[in-house]
Amino acid sequence: MTEYEDLIRLKQPPSIAAWSSVVGKKESEGPMAPYFDCTEQDSHFGQATWEQAESELQRRTLRLLLQKARCPETALSCLFAGDLINQCTSSTFALRHLDVPYLGIFSACATFAEGLMLAAVMQSGMNLPRCAVLTSSHFSSAERQFRFPLTYGGQRTPNAQRTCTAAGAALLTPAAAPPYLRGMCIGRIRDMGLTDASNMGAAMAPAAADTVARYLSATRTRPADYDAIVTGDLGTVGSRLLNRLMEQNGYELRSVHRDCGVMMFDNAAQDTHAGGSGCGCSASIICGYYLPKLQSGEMQNILYAATGALLSPLRCQQGDSIPGICHLVHLSHSGGKEQI
Amino acid sequence: MTEYEDLIRLKQPPSIAAWSSVVGKKESEGPMAPYFDCTEQDSHFGQATWEQAESELQRRTLRLLLQKARCPETALSCLFAGDLINQCTSSTFALRHLDVPYLGIFSACATFAEGLMLAAVMQSGMNLPRCAVLTSSHFSSAERQFRFPLTYGGQRTPNAQRTCTAAGAALLTPAAAPPYLRGMCIGRIRDMGLTDASNMGAAMAPAAADTVARYLSATRTRPADYDAIVTGDLGTVGSRLLNRLMEQNGYELRSVHRDCGVMMFDNAAQDTHAGGSGCGCSASIICGYYLPKLQSGEMQNILYAATGALLSPLRCQQGDSIPGICHLVHLSHSGGKEQI
């Protein structure tokens, strides 16, 4: 038994007052396409390099968020942002000419959930009016940083996931309007010694099982109490492992489990192997698909358990393993104090 | 005029209940040596690679913090950690076998201040008992990532700063014991278009001036109201620029300004050019030198304005500039509600 709290419950749950999602070409051809605010067919987003393209993707997503919220950039109390690229430059170069108080975060593909948690704590705990989160990923900037030069044309293994070109953003306010962020569970790093950089799902599944089981246990809830328990992004391989690990923990997850990496693509038709991944994958699906359903009441409660593979090409070359992490937030149609 | 709040004041200021600092060989030969908890003469910290050495440095610093606080690792409510190395792996590999709720952060050399801010918000806003922050840097892991292979033996320019091998950690609790973290100002990215990766001080000075001036203005205080306004790490070049920029803003900073990059080394004797830098530089000096003075009451109030150059070698190669950021925290002997 650990002594710290596995669960942080927000006494005054912030309202997610606005959200936005922008995705690239491949994502616009997948089953989730109708749900995104905006799709872009030019992988370069009008820029000269992939890294600049990803920064432009972030800028557009933030601009859209602020438009939808009717909030000028200078009215943001703070913005948590992050991405996969070294030195988090997709974020910093997206924001460098904006007058926005910026806090850089990194949890690999779990960064959007980390940002939601911290924006909620900042909004609710410090009573700030407008706290935002923004994350992105880009297939081409990530692929050449983490694996091979794109022009090398390397074969991808069946277990491999495809980094999504996608971004999501959300604005948290003290308003009394659904959806709300009700609670959270901060992840602990889990490392089972996996060293295959093409099998991120397996590296992340133990972290997902740890966090989801801790949260369910701390809240004394069962998977069936939620409309969905949404991981992002375990892909098909990691999802199978998660379900098996949860079974060992005494939880039957299958009936409510969804995974953003699995949802993003039609893997057979789009040749995307084990599914999608990246900071923008679950960010765009949470913002595009789940938040509207929680707003309307079509869904009442979901757990969003974002998973990140804390992969370093250099540490892999040095023979080291791939640690995983999973941060969880409870998103709800209701801001009240019911059982869940 | 911007509309958001430049100042976040903590109604219940957390107490910094414990802190620790560990530095390397070069730092142990400088003027700050007597103040650190621990100095290590082996640059490899007993490990096979520089990256593993930095993770070991972080582990030792955290272990020391927990020993001093008489707090088992599993009793931490959360730990904010970060470093300069790609994918933040100095932190994640330091923590991967610990049962600690971990939140990854990145603000380059300003990461320790970001961590202090977020740990304070988490402690105070969510009423968590034990929130910690941990950051590190290592000369050898940073130098080869950001500039040249060490064995290349490249000449360093007079403006260049030396990444410190150092780490600092602090534990924030609701206790009623000095020192306290009273308030904060989240930085905005400033980018004046500088592209010289060997002149980080100049890239960061505008961000420091922006944050410090915003905080002084929001609190209606003057530099002389503080025992010290401590930047980290502008070095000699950046410090001169900051003082000039503050003068243009109507503030005379010189009499109370100190810079951790300048303090760390005897630049003439140690051949460290414009001074020290790195996530561990100001972290170790705040923990080693300033927190004890704020605890004893020898100092009453300091502003710790940590600066980060959000440098990316890849973006530099693409012709892009170096954005800077500066996060500020107000550290105080008193937790009360006095003027400052």
For residue range A46-81, list pLDDT tens digits in order: 999 999 999 999 999 999 999 999 999 999 999 999
At residue A77, φ and ψ (nearest 5 deg) are: -70, -40
Answer whether A51 sits within 8 Å of B315, measured CB to CB: yes
B292 touches A: beta carbon within 8 Å: no
Euclidean distance between CA atoms B205 and B231, whole angstroms: 10
Contact by Cβ (8 Å): A129, A174: yes
B269 touches A: beta carbon within 8 Å: no
Residues 178-237, chain B, touching A (beta carbon < 8 A): 185-191
Alpha-carbon distances of B280 from A322, B23, B24, B186, B260, rounded to whole Å: 24, 8, 10, 20, 10
Note the pTM of the prediction, 2 decimals: 0.98
For residue B5, which residues of chain A lie inside 8 Å, CB to CB?
A: 77, 128
Answer whether B122 sits within 8 Å of A125, measured CB to CB: yes
Answer whether A74 sits within 8 Å of B315, measured CB to CB: no
A277-286: pLDDT as tens digits: 999 999 999 9
pLDDT at B3: 40
Residue A227 CA to its chain's centroid (Å): 18
B327, with CB counted inside 10 A (0-12, 13-18, 19+), is: buried
Residue A120 corresponds to which amino acid? Answer: A
Residue in B202, B198, B226 with CA at minimum distance from that of residue B212: B226
Euclidean distance between CA atoms B278 and B284, whole angstroms: 10
Answer whether A101 sits within 8 Å of B186, measured CB to CB: yes
Q: Which two tokens stand for residue A6?
A: 């596995």
Residue in A309, A69, A294 with CA at minimum distance from that of residue A169: A69
Q: Do domains A8-173 and A180-332 have the same CATH topology?
A: yes
Torsion-angle region of residue A273: left (phi > 0), alpha (psi -120 to 50) or beta?
A: left
User: What is chain A's mean pLDDT, rounded?
Assistant: 95
Half-sphere exposure for B263 (CA within 13 Å, toward CB):
21
pLDDT at B154: 86
Residue count of chain B, please give it: 340
pLDDT at A231: 98
The residue of chain A nearest to residue B107, with distances taken between CA atoms, is: A104
For residue A306, which residues of chain B lie inside 8 Å, CB to CB?
A: none
Euclidean distance between CA atoms A41 and A24, whole angstroms: 6
Q: In terms of DSSP bridges, do strands A257-259 and A228-232 run parallel, antiparallel, or are they unpaired? A: parallel
Contact by Cβ (8 Å): A253, A243: yes
Please say if the pLDDT value at position A2 is more than 50. no
Question: Closest Cα of chain B to A97: distance in Å?
Answer: 7
Residue A100 CA to its chain's centroid (Å): 22
Q: Which two tokens stand for residue A300?
A: 């009442």
pLDDT at B247: 98
Q: Which two tokens stand for residue A91?
A: 């974020």
At residue A101, φ and ψ (nearest 5 deg) are: -65, 120
Q: Which two tokens stand for residue A7?
A: 């669960």
Residues 130-169, chain A, touching B (beta carbon < 8 A): 130
Q: Which fold has domain A8-173?
A: Peroxisomal Thiolase; Chain A, domain 1 (3.40.47)
Question: Closest Cα of chain B to A183: distance in Å?
Answer: 11
Peptide bond into A233 cis (omega under 30): yes
Answer whether B125 sits within 8 Å of A128, measured CB to CB: no
Name the residue among B92, B101, B126 with its Cβ closest to that of A323.
B92
pLDDT at A109: 97
Residues 293-312, chain B, touching A (beta carbon < 8 A): 310-312
Mutation for A interface: B314, B316, B326, most A CBs within 10 A: B314
Name the residue among B87, B95, B108 with its Cβ closest to that of A189.
B95
Contact by Cβ (8 Å): B278, B84: yes
Question: Closest Cα of chain B to A321: distance in Å?
Answer: 9
- Non-local (6+) Cβ contacts of B10 within 8 A are A126, B120, B121, B124, B181, B182, B183, B184
pLDDT at A1: 33
Euclidean distance between CA atoms A40 and B270, whole angstroms: 53
Question: Closest Cα of chain A to B299: distance in Å?
Answer: 27
For residue B88, which residues of chain A lie inside 8 Å, CB to CB?
A: 106, 310
Residue A147 corresponds to which amino acid? Answer: R
Domain locations in chain A as residue ranges:
8-173, 180-332
A147, with CB counted inside 10 A (0-12, 13-18, 19+), is: middle
Q: Which two tokens stand for residue A40?
A: 């872009």
**Helix, coil or strand: residue A17:** strand
Lowest mean pLDDT among A259-268, A330-339, B108-117: A330-339
For domain B180-332, the CATH class is alpha beta
Mutation for B interface: A127, A188, A307, A327, most B CBs within 10 A: A188
For residue B93, which residues of chain A lie inside 8 Å, CB to CB?
A: 315, 320, 323
Euclidean distance between CA atoms A188 and A4, whole angstroms: 12
B316 touches A: beta carbon within 8 Å: no
Euclidean distance between CA atoms A175 and A173, whole angstroms: 5
State the average pLDDT over residues A150-156: 88
Mutation for A interface: B50, B76, B103, B133, most A CBs within 10 A: B103
Low-confidence ranges of chain B (pLDDT < 50): 1-3
Residue count of chain A, please give it: 340
Euclidean distance between CA atoms B33 and B285, whole angstroms: 10
Answer whether A3 sits within 8 Å of B86, measured CB to CB: no
| Other beta carbons less than 10 A from residue B269's beta carbon | 10
Question: Closest Cα of chain B to A132: distance in Å?
Answer: 13
pLDDT at A337: 59
Alpha helices in chain A (DSSP H): 25-28, 50-69, 89-95, 111-126, 139-146, 200-219, 235-248, 260-264, 267-270, 279-285, 291-296, 313-317
Residue in A127, A126, A90 with CA at minimum distance from that of residue A105: A90
Per-residue pLDDT band at A340 (split at 50, 70, 90): low
